[in-house]
Amino acid sequence: MTEIDSPTRESIAFRSGLDVVRAVEPQVADAIAAELTDQRRSLKLIASENYASPAVLLAMGNWLSDKYAEGIAGRRFYAGCRNVDTVETLAAQHARALFGAKHAYLQPHSGIDANLVAFWAVLSQRIESPVLSRSGVRHVNDLSEADWRVLRRALGEQRMLGMSLDAGGHLTHGFRPNISGKMFEQRSYGTDPETELIDYEAVRAAARAFRPLILMAGYSAYPRLIDFRRMREIADEVDATLVVDMAHFAGLVAGKVCTGDFDPVPYAHIVTSTTHKSLRGPRGGLVLCDETFAEQVDRGCPMVLGGPLPHVMAAKAVALAEARTSGFRDYAAQVVANARALADGLARRGTRLVTGGTDNHLCLVDVSGYGLTGRQAETALLDAGIVTNRNAIPRDPQGAWYTSGIRLGTAALTTRGLGTDGMEETADLIDTVLRATVPGPGINGKPSRAAYFLAEETAARVRSRIADLLAGHPLYPEIDLDSRL
């Protein structure tokens, strides 16, 4: 075997790992391999997805998974956690240095977990003092059942003001069916009907009238930057705690694209995030805060979380180390440049974009101009090899299930190495599919918001163009699952 055709160490690692899995359950191994094939062939434009490096992926597949480690580094409820302590401490060090935060908590399993940790930290910090002073105990974990009854009664009076779902907020920002909408009396702020941008004076007026305990900022589908200095001013004016969910744009903060008033860390009391999405790490969450909330945040276990996932924290440490490099800053800048190029390419083809464009990693397309619902557009694009997700737009007449929009993000394609020229081609591919798609009749010929028709020859032509576009940007080129070991 020559040096040229010898397998890379990454190929050896992943091929060997799949062989081990296949010996026990071949269908799982086949599904894993098929997922790589599917991702290699498609244009992934889901704004909440990315591609983690082989080092990050490999850091998750190890015997750290075998350890229970409730508690925090140096204070565990289980023995034998010194290596978990090393990993968690390192991940927290990287997070503090990367974001300029005073404190970092790396145990949340997801963004929702991270938000729950933040919410309970705020509630504990605000309510603990009067309840504990009456009970004579020092910590919320020491409260009696009678004290908890007082606490629960107090919690029922707490309020959250967050961005509405159709304006681009997340379901954990007070959406009624979510636990956040049940823990708090909730109201939402939206966007200006004309510009579709956040109206900060309207947020101020809502905060003055509602007097929330938590002012929630951040988004899942808002294509602009947020002025966090102004949000902190509003929070301080009504004695609210500013919690920022930066799950979607954490990579832009890490990569120093979101700076000054657009960086939430200097202004928020607590910042939550996922570690995948634009940060390009494993699926998981984190919480950043100042010293005021550090003790309460570190009680995420047992307050909200159970045993942490040490193998995922190891992958978080690797991903955060990667994000501290100059190459990651270049990547983050290109993500935004690509999003703007994609938005411009669509706009020149007559597509309506919510807010008229983008300043971050995503754009929101109103597909009603094509005569489609978001669900019809999402499925037709998938048939042609373009992976997106349907998404509500402000004041969406189609509601949250069918929607009038699709959300597009550039983090994943930028990881593959595509630049602005690739975004121009991508815009043309999307427009080609949507123009060729027509609504279809539903059951018994009745109108349907889900049925559609896209000619297979059109879909095939688009898939062929995608193959040409991606040929120069292979996904995980260092991994060859078919190589002989």
Distances (CA, A) of 275 to 56, 110, 237: 11, 8, 32
Average of per-residue pLDDT across 197-218: 95
Tell me the residue length of the chain.
485
Name the helix (H) or strand (E) containing 63.
none
Instruction: Please tell me whether the peptide bond between 302 and the residue prior to it is cis, using omega within 30 degrees of 0.
Output: yes
Residue 151: pLDDT band with limits 50, 70, 90 = low
We find that the CATH architecture of domain 326-471 is: Alpha-Beta Complex (3.90)
Q: Residue 256 — left, alpha, or beta (φ > 0 → left; ψ -120 to 50 → alpha)?
A: left
Active site includes 245?
yes
Q: Residue 153 pLDDT > 90, yes or no?
A: no
Residue 174: pLDDT band with limits 50, 70, 90 = confident
Active site includes 75?
no
User: If you ran DSSP here, which 8-state letter would residue 255 be given?
Assistant: T
Are the CB atoms for 202 and 209 separated by under 8 Å? no
Radius of gyration (Cα) for the chain, nearest Å? 24
Q: Quick one: angle between helices 26-41 and 9-24, nearest 10?
A: 140
The whole model's pTM is what? 0.91
From the list 68, 89, 229, 424, the catalytic residue is 68
Q: Give the tens place of pLDDT for each residue, 123-145.
A: 887 765 554 455 454 455 565 66
Active site includes 274?
yes
From the list 283, 390, 407, 416, the catalytic residue is 283
pLDDT score, position 418: 97
Distances (CA, A) of 299 to 49, 125, 382: 29, 11, 42
Active site includes 10?
no
Active site includes 283?
yes
Q: Give the tens place of pLDDT for each residue, 28-58.
A: 999 999 999 999 999 999 999 999 999 999 9
Lowest mean pLDDT among 132-136, 187-191, 306-310, 481-485: 132-136
From the list 191, 274, 355, 414, the catalytic residue is 274
Please state the domain extents for the chain. 63-323, 326-471
From the list 15, 277, 375, 465, the catalytic residue is 277
From the list 22, 40, 49, 70, the catalytic residue is 70
Under CATH, to which class is 63-323 assigned? alpha beta
Cα 456 to Cα 442: distance, rounded to the nearest angstrom: 19
Q: Give the tens place of pLDDT for each residue, 219-272.
A: 999 999 999 999 999 999 999 999 999 999 999 999 999 999 999 999 999 999
Cα 473 to Cα 482: distance, rounded to the nearest angstrom: 19
Are the CB atoms for 122 and 270 separated by under 8 Å? yes
From the list 10, 113, 166, 245, the catalytic residue is 245
Cα 278 to Cα 377: distance, rounded to the nearest angstrom: 24
Average of per-residue pLDDT across 71-85: 91
Higher per-residue confidence, 303 vs 104: 104
Q: Give the tens place of pLDDT for each residue, 282-323.
A: 999 999 999 899 999 998 888 888 889 999 999 999 999 999
Active site includes 68?
yes
pLDDT score, position 380: 98
Distances (CA, A) of 58 to 9, 53, 63, 314, 438: 12, 9, 11, 10, 44
User: If you ran DSSP here, which 8-state letter would residue 286 be given?
Assistant: E
Among candidates 275, 264, 246, which has minimal Cα distance to 91? 275
